[in-house]
């Protein structure tokens, strides 16, 4: 046959491609490829936006109960709340997740696809703990409910509340970052 095929092992001189062995480049293609690379300016912009206090997924804030401080991730959107602490293999000590609802409501939680044993506190609009429960891991048949309308829900490693003497009626203090938009 009269077809020239370049073997796969052939190396072309620098600047030449199989599509264009003459070395002439498609300038437009190179410009688009460069535009897709992250730049230093973009990374600085991301850092500045993070430093301004705008809330984003995965924000962490300090939260205090009975003189003990936790660092908690915020779950504000429906997607963040639906995922919660699912699929995680561990949760560092003195860490947790605070679910923030736009208004007080009755809520129900379960442990489907959650591999960490957790303790949960349902917190009212006044930031007092309404009720608490210990939740066994990976259980999709049992639900845990607030004993009244709550605005916040706090999940921590199982036993953290007991270890620190936290009880219903205790006040939880924290400051939420401003939201963008």
CATH number at residue 112: 2.60.120.1140
Closest CA to 84 of 99, 100, 105: 99
155 lies in some domain: yes
Domains of the chain: total:
2
Same domain, 43 and 82: no
Q: What is the pLDDT of residues 30-74, one digit of tens each?
A: 333 334 444 433 333 333 333 333 344 468 999 999 999 999 999
- The reported pLDDT for the residue numbered 16 is 53
How far apart, in whole angstroms, are the C-alpha atoms of residue 121 and residue 77? 19
pLDDT over 60 (residue 86) = yes
Domain span at residue 129 reads 60-174
How far apart, in whole angstroms, are the C-alpha atoms of residue 130 and residue 151? 10
- The reported pLDDT for the residue numbered 58 is 65
Same domain, 24 and 110: no
180 lies in some domain: no
Same domain, 166 and 79: yes
Same domain, 85 and 168: yes
Q: How confident is the model at residue 152 (pLDDT cuts 50, 70, 90)?
A: very high
Provide mean pLDDT across the span 124-144.
95
Same domain, 147 and 82: yes
Residue 118 makes CB contacts below 8 A (sequence gap 6+) with 85, 91, 111, 134, 135, 137, 155, 156, 157, 158
Same domain, 66 and 155: yes
Q: Name which of 37-41, 102-106, 128-132, 168-172 the model is least confident about.
A: 37-41
Same domain, 43 and 69: no
């Amino acid at each position: 046959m009269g077809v020239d095929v370049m073997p796969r092992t052939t190396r072309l001189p620098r600047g030449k491609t199989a599509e264009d062995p003459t070395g002439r480049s498609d300038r437009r293609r190179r410009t688009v490829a460069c535009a897709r690379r992250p730049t230093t300016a973009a990374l600085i912009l991301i850092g500045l936006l993070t430093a301004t206090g705008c809330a984003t997924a995965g924000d962490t804030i300090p939260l205090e109960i009975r003189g003990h401080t936790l660092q908690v991730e915020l779950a504000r959107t429906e997607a963040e709340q639906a995922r919660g602490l699912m699929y995680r293999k561990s949760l560092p000590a003195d860490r947790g997740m605070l679910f923030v609802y736009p208004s007080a409501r009755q809520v129900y939680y379960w442990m489907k696809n959650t591999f960490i044993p957790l303790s949960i506190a349902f917190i009212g609009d006044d930031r007092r703990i309404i009720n608490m429960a210990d939740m066994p891991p990976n259980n999709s048949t049992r639900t845990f409910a607030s004993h009244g309308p709550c605005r916040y829900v706090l999940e921590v490693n199982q036993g953290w509340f007991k270890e620190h003497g936290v009880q219903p009626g205790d006040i939880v203090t924290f400051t939420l970052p401003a939201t963008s938009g």
